[in-house]
Amino acid sequence: MKFLFKAAAAVALTAVALSASAQDKTSITVGVSVGNGEEIFKVVSKVAERSGLKIKVVVFNDYQLPNAALAAGDLDANAFQHKPFLDNQIKARGFALTPVGYTITAPLAFYSKKYKSLDQLPEGASVGIQNDPSNGNRALLLLQKYKLITLKPEAVAANTATPKDVIENPRKLKLVPLDAAQLPRSLDDLDVASINNDYAFKAGLSAAKDGIAVEDAKGIYANLIAVRTEDQGKSWVKPLVAAYQSPEVREFIEAKYKGSLIPAW
């Protein structure tokens, strides 16, 4: 009886192992942002396929959707955000998501059709910033770096600055929070606007050439690949990260974007 019990237990354990192995996919779905994220993943997918990993790419034009899709199981991974944005979404929406590797740094920049530097902004100038907490904070920090506003120190330390945290605004700038995707289209109506790199790229703008104030190239806003926390040990995760962090992808980024995007690994 003991032998039969051990044999039955061994069969059960083998079945569990085979089931777990079957869950380690050779084909995955990855969510990316429209524009450069989509372009880069065409190269990533080709590199990954050489290691036996097929990648289906799903393109999003709204920053609020990829993490929800990942948490719901509609995606296996996404690659569109930096860690402060991910941390904010985890805190706000309870997502169990984990970063597994860095991708690019996409410096946020201010653009204008009227002025060539932030120093030229007149009193009462209209300044478009992102209305989501993470990127709005980035825009405000950049305005503070150029000494146009002063923010509450505690908001700066926590990376949670909003227009309500502005304690000094000597030029009486009018801060106009807008959806990130709307900012390029609003440049004609604003004196200056903070625009994320992917939306700027889609609008034919380059931080390196057209930005009148640009974030530091490297820092906490390096973008990353995220997966569900329960999946971080799956066998497809390392090949995915390795494919992105390959020499071929680095060369593509450097040749294509010429400093507007920078490899972060």
Smallest CA-to-CA distance from 176 within 164, 193, 188 is with: 193
Mean pLDDT of the chain: 90
Residue 16 has pLDDT above 70, yes or no: no
What pLDDT does residue 197 have?
A: 84
What pLDDT does residue 23 have?
A: 53
Are both 201 and 257 inside the same structural domain? no
Are both 200 and 142 inside the same structural domain? yes
Residue 11 lies in a domain: no
**Structural domain of residue 172, as residue ranges?**
109-214
Are both 139 and 200 inside the same structural domain? yes
Residue 70 lies in a domain: yes
Tokens 């990829």, residue located:
66
Are both 47 and 170 inside the same structural domain? no
Residue 5 has pLDDT above 50, yes or no: no
Which residues are CB-contacts of 182 (< 8 A; sequence separation ≥ 6)? none
Q: How far is CA 203 from CA 181, 217, 238, in A?
A: 10, 21, 34
Half-sphere exposure of 167 (CA within 13 A, CB side): 8
* DSSP characters over 173-230: -EEEEE-GGGTGGGTTTSSEEEE-HHHHHHTT--HHHH-SEE--SSSTTEEEEEEEGG
Helix and strand tally (H, E) in the chain? 10, 13
Residue 1 lies in a domain: no
What pLDDT does residue 13 have?
A: 40
Residue 15 has pLDDT above 60, yes or no: no
Residue 177, burial from CB neighbour count under 10 angstroms (0-12, 13-18, 19+): middle
Are both 210 and 114 inside the same structural domain? yes
Per-residue confidence band for 77, with pLDDT thresholds at 50, 70 and 90: very high
Are both 149 and 60 inside the same structural domain? no
> DSSP class of residue 121?
P
Residue 7 lies in a domain: no
Residue 9 has pLDDT above 50, yes or no: no
Are both 41 and 135 inside the same structural domain? no
Residue 182 has pLDDT above 60, yes or no: yes
Task: Between 3 and 181, name the one with better pLDDT.
Answer: 181
Are both 56 and 31 inside the same structural domain? yes
Q: How many domains does the chain have?
A: 2
Are both 93 and 119 inside the same structural domain? no
Per-residue pLDDT averaged across 113-141, rounded? 96
Residue 55 lies in a domain: yes
Per-residue confidence band for 217, with pLDDT thresholds at 50, 70 and 90: low
Residue 51 lies in a domain: yes
> Domain holding 137: CATH number?
3.40.190.10
